[in-house]
Amino acid sequence: MDQIGQIKDIVGNAQKILIIQADNPDGDSLGSALALEAILHELGKTPILYCGVDVPGYLRYLQGWDRVQTEIPHDFDASIIVDASTMSLLERLSDSGAQGWVAAKPCIVLDHHQSVENVVPFANVLINEFTRSSAGEVIYYLAKQLGWPIPVSAGECIMTAILGDTQGLTNQLAKVDTYRAMTELVELGVDRPSLEEKRREASKMQLEIYKYKGRLIERTEFAYDGKIALVHIPQDEINTYSPLYNPGPLVQGDMLQTMGVQVAVVFKEYTDGRVTGAIRSNPGYGMAADLAKHLGGGGHAFASGFKDVSGKPFNEIKSECIRYASELLAKIEEEKPDETVQYAYQTD
């Protein structure tokens, strides 16, 4: 049986379906989960939402976010993991001891990530379409293919998922099919301007966050001729500011908007020795996935992340990050046609 047939079978035979988000909930993962919830509800199923990590504040404008529970229920017939296919992002699930429950029931994975290691070993169906902009887009086309109903509420969540991963349809993840899905969602009745307004309202800064942003900008370091921008956030600032606003998105866009900068890295250093890095790169410099992979993580060409739990000192991790990012940038520049050389050649 093909994957579509298998999905039909698993969903058809299940009543209670657990929808699982990985430990890094973003607009795509929450949007995908809520969209699936609405679709499954229309199909007469009983969907249950789970994420091991609390839904971040900036996503709490999406109706239904408060139905996401942080505990795995033991009573369900099948599960669907959205926007992740690696066990590295499902640590809360394995730590909770409930992984066995999930593995014992049929499990579907719906993802779109480029480089994936440590793939979910118990998935019965694993769909990882890396040509899709987002898990939301995967779900949209899957629902169409399966003839599943897409209520407007699901459409809003799918649009939110797509806009999240494509940064408002501005990055190269947005392809023809992405725009097609957006068009059809508008036809369905989804009102993008009102979604945008809710998003902006939910992501407004408190005054102290605005001032903290200034401090982060002042502390930003530059390497490799100003092409790499880095900022370091220690534990006490994570404690103080993270509950109010995620420090990464606070400055990373501005870092990339600084002339010359092609890649921006926001490090978080925890007192237990953990170091995480959020990596973003500019168009033409799609090296984020490669850099993250080298540092033990993964993701997309323009947005990725890693987590180092080896206990290595922060400065070592940072140096290695700068070294490898410089190497990747040098490689990209080597492959680009050199306009100054051509110009010199023509005038000679």
Q: Which residues contact Mn ion by CB under 5 A?
A: 28, 83, 134-135, 165
Kindly state the smallest distance separating residue 266's Cβ from Mn ion, in Å. 18
Kindly state the smallest distance separating residue 137's Cβ from Mn ion, in Å. 9
Complex with Mn ion: residue 277 or 305, whichever CB lies closer: 305
Kindly state the smallest distance separating residue 49's Cβ from Mn ion, in Å. 17
Q: How far is CA 186 from the centre of its chain?
A: 23
Distance between CA atoms of residues 51 and 72, nearest Å: 8
Kindly state the smallest distance separating residue 30's Cβ from Mn ion, in Å. 10
Kindly state the smallest distance separating residue 130's Cβ from Mn ion, in Å. 11
Complex with Mn ion: residue 112 or 307, whichever CB lies closer: 112
Task: Report CA-CA distances (Å) from 46 to 75, 136, 138, 215.
Answer: 11, 20, 21, 47
Kindly state the smallest distance separating residue 194's Cβ from Mn ion, in Å. 23
- The residues near 284 (Cβ < 8 Å, ≥ 6 apart) are 262, 332, 336
Complex with Mn ion: residue 76 or 302, whichever CB lies closer: 302
Q: How far is CA 161 from the centre of its chain?
A: 10
Kindly state the smallest distance separating residue 84's Cβ from Mn ion, in Å. 8
Distance between CA atoms of residues 29 and 92, nearest Å: 16
CB 153 within 8 A of CB 63: yes
Sheet of 263-269, strand order? 221-223, 228-234, 263-269, 275-281, 303-308, 298-299
Complex with Mn ion: residue 48 or 135, whichever CB lies closer: 135
- Find residue 212's DSSP bridge partners: none
In the bound complex, which residue of the shown chain has the CB atom lying closest to Mn ion?
28
Amino acid at 124: N
Complex with Mn ion: residue 111 or 269, whichever CB lies closer: 111
Kindly state the smallest distance separating residue 60's Cβ from Mn ion, in Å. 19
Complex with Mn ion: residue 21 or 153, whichever CB lies closer: 21
CB atoms < 10 A from the CB of 158, how many? Answer: 33
Complex with Mn ion: residue 83 or 156, whichever CB lies closer: 83
CB 11 within 8 A of CB 46: no
- Label residue 149 exposed, middle or buried (CB < 10 Å: 0-12, 13-18, 19+): exposed
* Geometric angle at alpha carbon 246, from 70 and 54, rounded to 5°: 5
- Find residue 160's DSSP bridge partners: none
Complex with Mn ion: residue 134 or 282, whichever CB lies closer: 134
- Label residue 8 exposed, middle or buried (CB < 10 Å: 0-12, 13-18, 19+): middle
